Amino acid sequence: MKKTLPFAMMLSTLLLMTSCSVIESIFKAGVWTGILIVVIVVALIIWLISKLFGGPRD
């Protein structure tokens, strides 16, 4: 049962969605994932620069 459930879900998705809808969903997820990764990387770089060059030195 555990092996047939993902297969059945994939099969129903392929049969119910047109190819354009599938491609559109993949690209939307890719764009938002890419934007999220870029924002996280930029925030990490800003945080590292602020830790290295900012703040009082003891």
More confident residue, 51 or 16: 51
Band of the pLDDT at 58, cuts 50, 70, 90?
low
Q: Please tell me the predicted confidence (pLDDT) of residue 35.
A: 87
| pLDDT higher than threshold 80 for residue 57 | no
Region of 56 on the Ramachandran plot (φ > 0 left; ψ -120 to 50 alpha; else beta): beta
Band of the pLDDT at 56, cuts 50, 70, 90?
low
- Residue 32's SS3 state is helix
